[in-house]
Amino acid sequence: MPSLIFRKGLDLKHAVAAEVAADYHSELVDRIRNSTHRYTSGRVTIYLAREFGFCYGVDRAIDYAYQTRRRFPDRPVYLTSEIIHNPYVNGKLRTAGIRFLSDPGEDADQLGREAVVILPAFGVEVAELEQYVRQGCTVIDTTCGSVLNVWKTVRQYAADGFTTVIHGKAHHEETRATASQTLTIPQGRYLVVLDRAEALIVCDYIRHGGEARAWLARVGKAASGGFDPDRDLQRIGVANQTTMLTTDSLEIGDLFRQAMIDRYGDADLSRHYRAFDTTCSATQDRQDAAMALVDQRRLDLMFVVGGYNSSNTCNLARMCAERVRTFHIVDAACLVSPDEVRHRPVSTGRQGTTAQGPRHDEAITGDWLPRRGPLSIGLTGGASTPQNIMGRVIETLAEFAAHA
């Protein structure tokens, strides 16, 4: 019996709608969102960004997971890894009996035809999907449409003889999946750069060349197997992990463009350089809304709510922190008291990551809440942050302000 792959749900959306709403929605947030995006209680006014929380792709992935559990109540259901980067959501799915293949003791090689495997919104590497199909598993594919568009772009780069340069985090599920798409074309090659500093290293080689072996040792596993910088950096196409900071991706694209002009000349640029902005619209909308909030309101504090390993949430915190005192928290439990807040310091690394993986350093800051006078607090959440988490943060902030 061939493997079944579901990519458009399981016709149970209405059957699970009430359960999804109960787990993730907030009447308080709905009321604020449908009025002035402002909540006032006593001396505190909390301003909600115009865009925050679940994007379409996240909503869809969670909905499919709930449909899957309902459709296959007597079969083992697995997620390849976290469905999105939010601990509350992943905890709910674990409670529903969905197992995570990324957990210790789980073994994807042992799955058979009885297994139902959910692919996360980030997608999975080509070889991983092929394995599940080969083993006869039923596959529920929740890969986000924005990610699929990136895949289409990088496959076209490869087909046209361009090496794909991905602005992203080499460890991230989405970046690994995107990189694997380039290798579906025989001559496909890729290189991942985390930030401006790494991009400059590559640009220097484009301009001046160098000792290939030493250069490859420097970039490590960020390059595809058999990568030859003298051959593979002659023609490049730039893409990005969809949740990266847009301004960073555009800057990195410009760095590569100028390097190609310096090496080959402006007239010949199109033969050596391509770029396509693959940032998802929801990520951009949330970034724009957060910047509008901190620029238009005189805020005492800003809170960004979401998982510490959520790329788009970390980027929101980084942007806000450049303008106002900002705390990145996971949920209301991080608001320990009017005297203490647990948070991931925004200054910890570039977007809280290294090239090898996420850093979840958490700090405790005291005396964070101003004690007297009117208080203005801004609030936003990443694309993987549920409404009810935001609602609890609002209630806790109001309570603390009233008693501080």
Query: What positions carry a catalytic annotation?
Result: 174
**Distance between CA atoms of residues 288 and 100, nearest Å:** 34
Cα 248 to Cα 167, 169, 294: the distances in Å are 9, 13, 19
300: tokens are 């005492």
DSSP secondary structure of 231-298: HHTSSEEEEE-TTS-HHHHHHHHHHHHHHHHHHH-GGGGGGTEEE-----HHHHHHHHHHHHHHHHS-
Two tokens, residue 326: 């900002």
Do 185 and 162 meet the contact criterion of CB atoms below 8 Å apart? no
Q: What is the DSSP letter of 58?
A: H
Q: Cα–Cα distance between 186 and 393 in angstroms, integer?
A: 50
**Strand order across the 5-6 sheet:** 5-6, 138-141, 116-119, 77-79, 99-100
Q: Look at residues 287, 289, 188, 274 and name the one whose alpha carbon lies nearest to residue 244.
A: 287
DSSP 157: H
The conformation of residue 105, written as its DSSP 8-state character, comes to: T
Element (H, E) at 214: helix 212-219
